[in-house]
Amino acid sequence: MITLTTPAQVNSVLGGDAPISYAKFVLTSINYDTVNKVVTARVQISSTSNPEMQAVEGSMTINCVTAKLTIQVQQLDFYRQVVLTGPQNTFVTDNVIRASQNILETGLVNLGVVAGTQATGV
């Protein structure tokens, strides 16, 4: 969870003036596509001061082939794309995608769900 420095303000009354701060930023449903080297996730922004307010949802994509990170939250009219540096892109590819894949594969073999030997980094 990330607490936003400058929370988004969302009006809680249609046609009125009752803004609610949305300061809680969470990535959910994170998917690693190890073949295409893409990480996707849902972005969820919610209010900690007024938890019964509905969360605002968006998307995040990290494409390691094009070295671009994109976050979009349409309801807040927010779109941001950042070009990753070589080390940042390598971190996502090597340390996040590959490590997660290797941990899960090792776990499946160790639990006996899959019979075989796990080869790291493949």
> Is 115 part of any domain?
no
Average pLDDT of span 11-32 = 88
Q: Please write down the long-range contacts of 51-60, taking CB distance under 8 Å and 24 or more positions apart.
A: 53/10, 53/12, 53/20, 53/22, 56/8, 56/10, 56/22, 60/27
pLDDT in tens, 48-92: 888 889 999 999 999 999 999 999 999 989 999 999 999 998 888
Average pLDDT of span 31-49 = 91
Give the whole-angstrom CA distance, residue 69 versus residue 80.
8
Domain count for the chain = 1
By CB atoms closer than 10 A (0-12, 13-18, 19+), residue 111 is: exposed
> Is 91 part of any domain?
yes
Predicted structure pTM score: 0.78
Residue 23's domain comprises 2-110
> Is 118 part of any domain?
no
pLDDT range class, residue 121, cuts 50, 70, 90: low
Which tokens is 60 given? 């995040």
